[in-house]
């Protein structure tokens, strides 16, 4: 969860309802292919279409007790690390993001640039981390954090 504390009840609400059935959130997540990325046209389309399973899932999770934009984005980023970008105040400030869900649109625009993706791949290769374990979205997040974490908001 990228160091986010969550209320136990909220996580249980997300995972299963009182009858023990999978929630709508789990069902929606299952309909989003695990291998889909923000670099694929189909992944970008999913993030842009506010009627897609991704957006329905976003709204469903965000409606749970204790989940705001940051918690919701980091849960989704953990579940689909190559598709869903993380959001927090540092990312918002660095990219000039103001509206709810606007970070998906901004990130899709950023990652449509092939040169930017190649640059992030090179940064990932030069890192000490196992290459397969870090998505390019996570590399981007790390770079933005390292550059903007101490700047005044």
* Alpha-carbon distance values, 119 to 8, 26, 64 (Å): 39, 34, 37
Residue 26: per-residue pLDDT:
84
Cα–Cα nearest to 121, from 131, 107, 133: 131
Q: Does residue 1 sit within a domain?
A: no
Q: Does residue 25 sit within a domain?
A: yes
Q: Does residue 46 sit within a domain?
A: yes
Q: Does residue 3 sit within a domain?
A: no
Residue 5: per-residue pLDDT:
52
Q: Does residue 144 sit within a domain?
A: yes
- The parts of the chain modelled with pLDDT lower than 50 are 1-2, 4, 8, 16-22
The domain tally of the chain equals 1
Residue 134: per-residue pLDDT:
83
Residue 19: per-residue pLDDT:
45
Determine the Cα–Cα distance for residues 122 and 143; give it in Å rounded to an integer: 13
Cα–Cα nearest to 72, from 25, 9, 110, 141: 25
Q: What is the pTM of this model?
A: 0.80
Q: Which residues of 115-152 are buried (b: 16+ CB within 10 A; e: fewer)?
A: eebeebeeebeeeeeeeeebbbbbbbbbebeeebeeee
Q: Does residue 65 sit within a domain?
A: yes
Distance, first Cα to last Cα, the chain = 24
Domain that holds residue 69: 8-148
């Amino acid at each position: 969860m990228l160091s986010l504390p969550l209320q136990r009840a909220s996580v249980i609400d997300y995972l299963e309802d009182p009858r023990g059935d999978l929630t709508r959130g789990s069902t929606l997540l299952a309909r989003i292919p695990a291998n889909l990325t923000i670099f694929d046209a189909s992944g970008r389309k999913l993030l842009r279409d506010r009627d897609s399973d991704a957006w329905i899932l976003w709204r469903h999770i965000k409606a749970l007790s204790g989940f705001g934009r940051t918690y919701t984005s980091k849960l989704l980023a953990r579940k689909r690390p190559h598709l869903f970008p993380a959001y927090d105040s540092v990312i918002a400030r660095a990219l000039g993001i103001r509206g709810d869900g606007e970070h998906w649109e901004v990130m899709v625009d950023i990652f449509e640039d092939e040169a930017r993706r190649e640059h992030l791949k090179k940064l990932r290769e030069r890192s000490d981390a196992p290459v397969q374990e870090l998505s390019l979205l996570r590399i981007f997040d790390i770079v933005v954090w390292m550059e903007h974490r101490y700047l005044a908001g």
